[in-house]
Every structure is written in structure tokens, then in C-alpha cells.
Amino acid sequence: MKRSLHLKLTGAMIVVVVLDGAGYLLAVSSVPHTDPALVSLLQDIFVVVAMLTVAVGLILPGMIGHAVEQVSTAAGRLATGTLADLTRAMRALSVGDLEGATARVDVIDVRARSQDELGAMAASFNTMQHEVGRAAEALAGARDGLAARKASWRRACASRQLWPISAGWRSRAKISAS
């Protein structure tokens, strides 16, 4: 079972609450304030609670922020890079511009070190980036196929094997046989 980010944060907060409660119970109990060892123990407990609070309040959000920043940067790069190129290439292809129908593939994986929701988000984003890259590569294959068909068509026209007919192109041999 994957460790959930929610469980991590909840577990850390439970530890903080337990330690804080223990410190509180010790502080309010019938403890003679003249005993320096006991006062020192209470101070140590409250220091541990403070350190855990700092860890939960600063470190975990920092880790979350770093992971989200990586995905955000990669999303920006994908949107302005490969996806934008793919859009331009599809537009060029739609008007018959085979030379302009190219898209660069710029995929840099987001590194995920955790097995929680942030790790799953990074893995899903990486999958999406690779699929967009495959779409750009498929466009290149389609463009090359169309270019080959266009060249073949031009050679056939140049050798006068094709004649224009109102509904399309027919071979000269079929017209002669009619």
C-alpha cells in the first residue's frame, strides 16, 4: 500500500499532539516546582514539540512546494514547447504546408521520489509528456508519408499518366478504355 501524503501529515500532527499533551500533563500535574530535574524534563519535552512543529510547518510544505514547482515548470515547458509546436505543425499541415508541419519533442521527466499523491502526479505528468512526444513523432511520419505521396503524384502528372476529371484524378489508361 502506498503511503499517502495525507497520512504522513496526519501522523506527524498526531505525534505533535501526543507530545504536547504529555508535556501539558506533566506541567499541570502536582509537580513540585522546586525540583530542577523535573523542570528540565518539561523544558525538553516542549523543545521536542517545538522542533516537530517546525518540521511539520516548514519542511513538509517545502517538500510539497518543490514537487509542485517541478511539475509546474515541466507543464510550462510542455505548453510552450512541444504542444505549441504540435499545434503550429497541425495548422501547417491543414493548409498543405508539409515543410512547416514539424514539431520538436522536448521531454524532460519530472523526478518523483515519493510514493504518495505527489509522486503519482509526477508519474502521470511524465506519461502525458511522453504521449505528446509520440504524437509529434507520429505527425512527422504522417508528413513524410504525405510528402512521398505528393512526390509520386507529381511524377505521375509529369509523365502524363493522370488527367484532371471534375470528380478527381483518373489514369489516362482508364479514360482511353471508356
* pLDDT tens, position by position, 69-99: 888 889 999 999 989 999 999 999 889 888 8
Q: What is the pLDDT of residues 120-148, one digit of tens each?
A: 888 999 999 999 999 999 998 988 998 89
> Residue 168: which pLDDT band, with cuts at 50, 70 and 90?
low
Q: Can you give the pLDDT at residue 128?
A: 93
Residues 6+ apart with CB under 8 A from 19: 45, 48, 49, 52
Is pLDDT larger for residue 77 or for residue 23?
77
Listed ranges 1-10, 139-148, 162-171; the one with the highest mean pLDDT: 139-148
In this structure, what C-alpha cell is assigned to residue 125?
Answer: 505528468
| CA gap 65, 42 in Å, rounded | 34
Please report the beta strands in 20-78, taking only residues with DSSP state E, as ranges in sequence order.
Answer: none
pLDDT tens-digit series, residues 26-53: 775 666 767 777 767 777 877 787 777 7
For residues 121 and 107, give the distance between their C-alpha atoms in angstroms, rounded to a whole number. Answer: 16
- Neighbouring residues of 75: CB distance < 8 A, sequence distance ≥ 6: 125
What is the residue extent of each domain of the chain?
5-177
Q: How confident is the model at residue 167 (pLDDT cuts 50, 70, 90)?
A: very low
Of 130 and 57, the structure prediction assigns the larger pLDDT to 130
In percent, how much of the chain has pLDDT > 90?
19
pLDDT of residue 164: 55
Full-model pTM = 0.60
Q: What is the pLDDT of residue 157?
A: 79
Averaged pLDDT score across all residues of the chain = 78
